[in-house]
A and B are shown apart, each in its own frame.
Chain A
Amino acid sequence: MTLTTSVSCAAAKAGDQIPPLTVQPTPLQLFRYSAVTWNGHKIHYDPAYAAAEGHPGILVHSHLHAAFLARACTRWAGPLSVQKLSYRIVRPATPADRLTITGTVTSRDEEVDGVLLVVDLVESNAEGRSCATGTATLRVGGADGGAR
């Protein structure tokens, strides 16, 4: 499979890459994510507690990883393009980690109301180690172009 640079979602085919998304989570973002999701788990905002549990720092929430994966898709294919999203956390990430989400289209299926793309996603830290992996199914190019 030959990898190419990112293309428009409507023309994407297997082997194409989506535009990479780089994010730098901060302690403030982790605090606000904990607050808005009413998640009191101290591993996300209490450094002493996180260290006591053996973590390298306060941890990015699993669902915040998922939000990064989803955003890499929606900024390319539309805010409501994501039909399915599965992900797995493979390595903890902290605010010290600059995270880059890349995606490769693995299949394209033409349907009556648009095109279904399956995208394999990887979120990597600055050392190139995977922190989260996932797969998204995106609907693009329908009557509403993924807008709804």
Chain B
Amino acid sequence: MSLLDTVADSLRQMVGSTQRTDHGVIDRRLIQRYAVAIDDRDPLFSDPEHARAAGFADVVAPPNMLAGVIEWGPGGWQDELKPDGTGDEGWLTEATRGMRVMGGGEEMELLHPLVAGMHLIETQTLADVEVKDGRAGRLLLVRSDVTFQAEGGPVLCRSRRTVLGREPVQEVPA
């Protein structure tokens, strides 16, 4: 059995499983840095005074920041990461070691802006695992339903996320 099939079988056992993670309070600096990294200069995303004048308590996160952050916590120690540099984020557990993984797309519904100072809770449910033949060979598609909510407050974002996995092509550098 190929690595891809082994991983697919392993993940299928977990379809329907849910992870709930408390990411703590999201600070202004993270949002400002995200805006700088994507080169979005709208002052709502970086200038607290502008944001307050617009009616918000602090700076507001750009639309896809909630989906874009891979790890909200400290992450794994370096020697715990897989050879491709990924950790055990989401459903990409140790079982995926050796596979080539990448983001495949997302369907987001943005219900309420993330504002600096909010306490963020994420709930992620493994929704579907599919193997299909793509142009570049067999492809594993792992879809999860993700909800971000402010603790004791509104739901901020709901999304369905797709992560792609492919068989390794060769030995890769450590």
Residues of A near any B CB (own CB < 8 A): 23, 29, 32-33, 35-43, 46, 48-49, 52-54, 59, 61-64, 66-68, 70-71, 73-75, 79-80, 82-89, 144, 147-148
Contacts and interface: CB of A to CB of B under 8 A. Distances in A.
Nearest to A83: B110
Interface string B135-156: 0000000000000000000000
Interface stretch (B4-12, B97-105, B120-128): B97-105
Contact of B68 (A49, A54, A59, A64): A64
Interface in B129-174: 162, 168-173
Contact of B69 (A37, A64, A144): A37
Contacts of A87: 105-106
Contacts, number: 147
B84 A33 contact: no
B55 A148 contact: yes
Nearest first, the 9 closest Cβ-Cβ pairs linking A and B are A62-B103, A63-B68, A88-B105, A86-B107, A38-B71, A40-B85, A52-B172, A67-B38, A39-B70
Contacts of A23: 39
Interface of B: 30, 33-34, 36-40, 42, 44-45, 54-56, 60, 62-64, 67-72, 75, 81, 84-87, 100-110, 113, 162, 168-173
A54 B137 CA distance: 13
A67 B68 contact: yes
B36 to A, nearest CB: 7
Nearest to B54: A147
A49 B54 contact: no
B54 A74 contact: no
A121 B63 CA distance: 16
A33 B40 CA distance: 12
A46 B30 CA distance: 24
A46 B86 CA distance: 13
A53 B33 contact: no
Nearest to B55: A148
A49 B169 CA distance: 12
9 contacts: A40-B70, A42-B85, A61-B103, A66-B106, A80-B44, A84-B107, A85-B63, A86-B106, A148-B56
B102 A85 contact: no
B113 A40 contact: no
Nearest to B86: A41
A10 B166 CA distance: 44
A42 B101 CA distance: 11
B103 A63 contact: yes
Contacts of A43: 84, 102
Nearest to A71: B40
